[in-house]
Amino acid sequence: MSEPVARLLIELENITPRIWRLVDVPAAITLSTLHDVLQAVMRWEYSHLYEFRVGDRVYGDPLPGLESASGQVYKAKGIRLNHLMDRGVDHFTYVYDFGDDWRHSIRVESVRVGDPDTDYPVFVEGERRAPPEDVGGVPGFMEFLDAIADPSHSEHAFLLDWAGGAFDPEDIDLREIEFDLATLAEFRHRVRAGHRSRAQKKAH
């Protein structure tokens, strides 16, 4: 069954060379599900809080007694991407880990009818590996890259070990990205199939 699909350009801000991803997602997904997509394509690990900044509104997972620096936080699972696009929104920001402050620019590149034989989301292309968790934000990441590229650096061995033994800035870990997105797509497919089945039973 075909559905509208949005192509999103995702780019980490304030980092050169660019770290970016292009991904096709169902236009009707919630921002909460988009959070899952972003975690997958950037290889983040769900270790920290997040929020979407859309105009003057902030969406995330509101916690009692905890507000964003931007003010009230609305539920990310309560708003869908296509509802934002209907309001004329084609660009917004995703912030992950309020300590390291990873800011992702998200732009809607296009919207089309998806392939009825494809379960979305689907990875399209991208370049360069995202930073490891808890590396210390942009400055820490730059220092990390310098250290692992220089065997004579005093922290070279320590940081490589900390990163799991290896870190290739050019390797986006495509196999894992595609596996995680396929898992999300399969889950969404089953949920939609369940909804259709229940609706058909009610109709009879």
Q: pLDDT tens digit string along 32-52?
A: 999 999 999 999 999 999 999
Whether 126 maps to a domain, the answer reads yes
Whether 199 maps to a domain, the answer reads yes
Q: Using CA atoms, how far apart are residues 160 and 150, in angstroms rounded to an integer?
A: 11
Whether 122 maps to a domain, the answer reads yes
Q: Using CA atoms, how far apart are residues 183 and 14, in angstroms rounded to an integer?
A: 31
Q: What percent of the chain has pLDDT over 90?
A: 85
20, 124 Cβ separation under 8 angstroms:
no
Which one is predicted more confidently, 81 or 71? 81
Instruction: Evaluate if residue 162 carries a pLDDT over 90.
Output: yes
Rounded mean pLDDT, 168-185: 96
**pLDDT reported for residue 190:** 82
The count of structural domains within the chain is: 1
Residues 104-153: pLDDT tens digits? 999 999 999 999 999 999 999 999 999 999 999 999 999 999 999 999 99
Whether 103 maps to a domain, the answer reads yes
Whether 140 maps to a domain, the answer reads no
| Average predicted confidence (pLDDT) for the chain | 92
In which domain, by residue range, is 58 found? 4-130+172-203
41 by DSSP, 3-state: which?
A: helix
Q: What is the CATH number of the domain that holds 48?
A: 3.10.290.30
Whether 146 maps to a domain, the answer reads no
Stated pTM of the model:
0.90
Which one is predicted more confidently, 16 or 188? 16
Whether 57 maps to a domain, the answer reads yes
Whether 51 maps to a domain, the answer reads yes
